Amino acid sequence: MTDLVKVIELKKLRPRRGVAVRVQDIEVAVFLIGEQVHVIENLCPHQHIPVLADGELEGNILTCPMHGWQFDVTSGSCVHASGGLRTFPVQIVKGDVMIPMPEEEKPSWW
Ligand code: FES
């Protein structure tokens, strides 16, 4: 069983407003949409800039504030291209948003 790690208290989230949080060695973006919490890596794959928490949400679609790439935060998939974002399964434990301990992602040439 994978260890869970705390990301943020659920009560600190505001509907449809992203929050960037450092968890272990990576930065994640947390979104509250309706009753659901979604956690994605904060790094935009376009230019590898950690800005997605500042993106704008329309429905489930997040638009990167830098150059407008769009992603579905529920699946991580990129709207206009193949590939997408790293997503994390969320559990709420005693009012805290928890995800499995993220492992450092190895580069593709590893
Ligand atoms: S850095 Fe996100 S679209 Fe360019």
Q: Answer with the residue of higher pLDDT: 2 or 92.
A: 92
For residue 33 and ligand 1, the question of a CB distance below 6 A is answered with no
For residue 46 and ligand 1, the question of a CB distance below 6 A is answered with yes
Residue in 64, 70, 71, 79 to alter for ligand 1 test, most ligand atoms within 8 A of Cβ = 64
Q: What's residue 109's pLDDT? A: 54
Q: What's residue 80's pLDDT? A: 84
The yes-or-no verdict on residue 55 having pLDDT over 60 is yes
Mean pLDDT of the chain: 92
Q: pLDDT per residue over 76-94, tens digit each?
A: 999 988 889 999 999 999 9
The yes-or-no verdict on residue 2 having pLDDT over 80 is no
The yes-or-no verdict on residue 99 having pLDDT over 90 is yes
Rg (CA), the chain: 13
Return the closest-CA partner of residue 105 out of 91, 90, 89, 85: 85
Grouping H, G, I as helix, E, B as strand and the rest as coil, residue 44 is strand
- 47 CA → ligand 1 middle, Å: 6
Q: Which residues contact 107 (CB under 8 A, 6 or more apart)?
A: none
Question: For the residues 47-69, what does the mean pLDDT come to?
Answer: 96
Give the start-to-end residue ranges of the domains of the chain: 4-100
- 66 CA → ligand 1 middle, Å: 5
Protein residue closest via CA to atom 4 of ligand 1: 67
- Model-level pTM greater than 0.85? yes
Q: What's residue 7's pLDDT? A: 98
In CATH, which superfamily holds the domain spanning 4-100? Rieske [2Fe-2S] iron-sulphur domain (2.102.10.10)
